[in-house]
Amino acid sequence: MATIVIVDDDPRFRGIARRLLESEGFEVIGEAAGGGEALAVTRELEPDIVLLDVQLPDIDGIEVASQLTANGAGPAIVLTSTRDESDFGPQLQQSGARGFVPKGEISAERITSLCE
């Protein structure tokens, strides 16, 4: 079972994503509400995957992804947003993330397909 950390500033979204992903076989081992907290939680818990909102109140998700993947040994990062992927341009590819899933389309299958 893959372990995952959910990072989003909306506690309601984190709860919905947790219930969905746990029901589909992921083990949610942590949550974070901001970029700084995401870095700390991810380094402490060492999840297989981080579901990471692009727009966070302190450090944006693209920068968090870049920091977590800088040494090549970090977890698989999947970025998410209510905005369209095209709104972020080449930043998504440059972040080191495995891919992007719109918030309305999150599923274990989509996340797994990007992380394999």
Domain ranges of the chain: 3-115
More confident residue, 84 or 63: 63
Q: Sheet of 76-81: strands edge to edge?
A: 27-32, 3-7, 49-53, 76-81, 99-102
Kind and range of the H or E element at 112? helix 108-115
In single-letter form, the type of residue at position 42 comes to T
**What are 30-56's pLDDT values in tens digits?**
999 999 999 999 999 999 999 999 999
Question: Is residue 110 pLDDT above 90, yes or no?
Answer: yes
Q: For domain 3-115, give the CATH superfamily.
A: Response regulator (3.40.50.2300)
The whole-number pLDDT of residue 89 equals 74
Mean pLDDT of 7-25: 97
Average pLDDT over residues 66-93: 85
37 C-beta neighbours (distance < 10 Å), count: 18
Q: Which residues pair with 26 in a beta bridge?
A: none
Q: Which residues pair with 4 in a beta bridge?
A: 28, 49
DSSP SS3 for 100: strand
Burial 81-113 (b: 16+ CB within 10 A, else e): beeeeeebeebbeebbbbbbbebeebebebbbe
